A and B are shown apart, each in its own frame.
Chain A
Amino acid sequence: MSDLYLIFIFIYALLIVTRTGLVELFYFLPVLMALISLLKPKRALFKHLGFLLGFEGLLFILALFTPGKPVVATPLGVITYEGLQKFSILLGKAFLSSSAVVVVSNSLGFPYILAEMETLRFPRILVLTLAFTYRYLELFEEEALRMKRALDSRAFNIGKIEYYKKLGMLIGEIFARAYMRSVRIHWAMLSRGFGEFPKLAEERRVEPIVLTLIALGVALL
């Protein structure tokens, strides 16, 4: 059963992005609710979902101004009926599909998703890139925050332009440090006989039920 989540997300997302009407999208809302109640994620997830909704809303904001029957005039332009419809469909598609990924990865952990990707024979380079990104992203974020705190604690009597210049240099420094760290990581890998990466999880066979579900998903499409 554990291998099914990624397949589920894949089929679910594919079904969502191929819908054309708003009503059709509403049918997927109970599916998302069922997924949430099944996986019982932490409360913080709902905050993440809120951010996701806001971010995706911003991404598609231009769709509101699609030419058509005017609804309301704003300083940015005229929001139309067609625009509202287009915006709702785009936001619905993006939110419903991406929130399923967020729910699953938050509840089961990203390494679990990576292990599933390996089991499902995703390209190794993609899985490894994601694994490294996941491992080191937080570390660089922490380092950047520490450096920014150090900058802020000494940035007296300097203008905004000067401050942002320093901030730019700080970002450059983070890249330089990232490069230096990558060299050291490579050394550490070589030291332990780097040749082939281990699997991110025990080798698991793709079960017939998984293949059946993929076939079913494709047939449904």
Chain B
Amino acid sequence: MIELVNIHFSYNNREVLRGISLKINDGEVFGILGPNGAGKSTLIMHLNGILKPKTGKVIVNGIEVNKNPREVRKIVGVVFQDPNDQLFSPKVFDDVAFGPYNLGLRGRELEERVEKALRLVGMEGYKNRETKELSFGEKKRVAIATVLAMEPEILVFDEPFANLDFRGKKMLRELIEKFRGEKTIILSSHEAEYLTLCDRIALLDGGKVIKVGSPEEILGNADLLREHDLEVPPLVDLFSSLGLEIPKNIEEAKRKLKKVLI
């Protein structure tokens, strides 16, 4: 379980987070929705102690992050927004191996962990490739593999769908479904349509939590989204105007529509 208690944080005297308090349950797929500059990435950096709050505290599985960040980083895996920040080694293998190596894995065990992580993101066979030769989508997948290789209990994705092609988005959705219930997954995005697969969503703006609720409560409230400069996803708009529960994906939407129409 993740608990954020009254988090305040400033960059160069500009307050970016203003008293954030949240509770994220084990096995939950949790969305952080907000426009650009809302404080989403800054908040994510607090989850594994990369940034330290000015006041307040972050507790992960009972461990206070500020007191033991190294221990928390074994539990919380963060996939950064730009894969070029995450992939710093010349070769794919070295990058994916970086995390598990730091966890103490060596030899065959390390190789197997790398291969498994690359397989999960559909990048098997890429381990000997040079990082700089990969396309943006491929880099993004490898960046996810670098975190999966550490087998963290909590997976945090900062704007994971940004700049991904259809295949990449499909892979990511499948991956989230695969780990649903098994791992706690946190997704941040400024695009509401990608958060339909969340169990709960927190709407963030101006460094504050505006509202926490189910996708129906957050995404189904078109006025709330527009008030915070967020686009209402067409599917959500359609289902909420029909008074139907918001579907998690297009397949579910098709099933629900068939039920209503037939």
Q: Which residue of A has the minimal Cβ distance to B97? A: A198
A-B contact count (CB 8 A): 77
B26 is an interface residue with CB less than 8 A from chain A: no
Measured CB to CB, the closest approach of chain A to B101, in angstroms, equals 4
B interface residue numbers (CB < 8 A to A): 45, 48, 50, 69-70, 73-74, 77-78, 80, 82, 84-91, 94, 97-99, 101-103, 130-132, 146-147, 150
Taking CB atoms, residues of chain A closer than 8 Å to B88 are 132, 135-136, 185, 188-189
The listed residue (B91, B94, B150) touching A192 by CB distance below 8 A is B150
Cross-chain contact B99 with A139 (CB below 8 angstroms): no
Cross-chain contact B80 with A138 (CB below 8 angstroms): no
Interface residues of A in 137-194 (CB under 8 A from B): 138-139, 181, 184-185, 187-194
Cross-chain contact B132 with A194 (CB below 8 angstroms): no
The listed residue (B45, B77, B102) touching A187 by CB distance below 8 A is B45
Cross-chain contact B90 with A135 (CB below 8 angstroms): yes
Q: Which residue of A has the minimal Cβ distance to B149? A: A192
Cα separation A196 to B86 with both chains bound (whole Å): 16
A131 is an interface residue with CB less than 8 A from chain B: yes
Cross-chain contact A198 with B98 (CB below 8 angstroms): yes
Cα separation A158 to B58 with both chains bound (whole Å): 53
Q: Known contacts A193-B99, A194-B102, A195-B102: does B74 contact A188 (CB below 8 Å)?
A: no
11 A-B pairs, CB-CB below 8 angstroms?
A110-B90, A135-B87, A138-B132, A184-B80, A187-B85, A192-B73, A192-B99, A193-B74, A194-B102, A198-B89, A200-B90
Taking CB atoms, residues of chain A closer than 8 Å to B102 are 192-196
Q: Is the interface of B mostly helix, strand, loop or mixed?
A: helix
A134 is an interface residue with CB less than 8 A from chain B: yes
Measured CB to CB, the closest approach of chain B to A134, in angstroms, equals 5
Q: Known contacts A189-B88, A191-B48, A191-B50: does B131 contact A135 (CB below 8 Å)?
A: yes
Cα separation A136 to B87 with both chains bound (whole Å): 10
Cα separation A193 to B147 with both chains bound (whole Å): 11
Q: Which residue of A has the minimal Cβ distance to B110? A: A198
Cross-chain contact B103 with A191 (CB below 8 angstroms): no
Measured CB to CB, the closest approach of chain B to A41, in angstroms, equals 16
Cross-chain contact A111 with B78 (CB below 8 angstroms): no
A54 is an interface residue with CB less than 8 A from chain B: no
Taking CB atoms, residues of chain A closer than 8 Å to B98 are 189, 192, 197-198
Interface residues on A, range: 20 to 34
Taking CB atoms, residues of chain A closer than 8 Å to B131 are 135
Q: Known contacts A138-B132, A187-B50, A192-B99: does B91 contact A181 (CB below 8 Å)?
A: no
A114 is an interface residue with CB less than 8 A from chain B: yes
Cα separation A196 to B100 with both chains bound (whole Å): 11
Taking CB atoms, residues of chain B closer than 8 Å to A70 are none
Contact with B along A66-83 (1 / 0, CB 8 A): 000000000000000000
A interface residue numbers (CB < 8 A to B): 109-111, 114, 131-132, 134-136, 138-139, 181, 184-185, 187-198, 200
Q: Which residue of A has the minimal Cβ distance to B114? A: A198
Q: Is the interface of A mostly helix, strand, loop or mixed?
A: helix
Q: Known contacts A196-B101, A198-B101: does B89 contact A135 (CB below 8 Å)?
A: yes
Cα separation A200 to B74 with both chains bound (whole Å): 22
Q: Which residue of B has the minimal Cβ distance to A181? A: B85
Cα separation A138 to B69 with both chains bound (whole Å): 33
Measured CB to CB, the closest approach of chain A to B147, in angstroms, equals 7
Taking CB atoms, residues of chain A closer than 8 Å to B73 are 190-193
Cross-chain contact A192 with B90 (CB below 8 angstroms): no
Taking CB atoms, residues of chain A closer than 8 Å to B87 are 135
Taking CB atoms, residues of chain A closer than 8 Å to B94 are 111, 198, 200
Cα separation A138 to B84 with both chains bound (whole Å): 12
Taking CB atoms, residues of chain A closer than 8 Å to B90 are 110-111, 114, 131, 134-135, 200
Measured CB to CB, the closest approach of chain A to B153, in angstroms, equals 14
Q: Which residue of A has the minimal Cβ distance to B101? A: A198
Cross-chain contact A188 with B132 (CB below 8 angstroms): no
Cross-chain contact B130 with A188 (CB below 8 angstroms): no
Measured CB to CB, the closest approach of chain B to A202, in angstroms, equals 8
Excluding A110-B90, A135-B131, 8 further A-B contacts by CB distance (< 8 Å) are: A131-B90, A187-B80, A188-B86, A191-B50, A193-B99, A193-B150, A195-B102, A200-B94
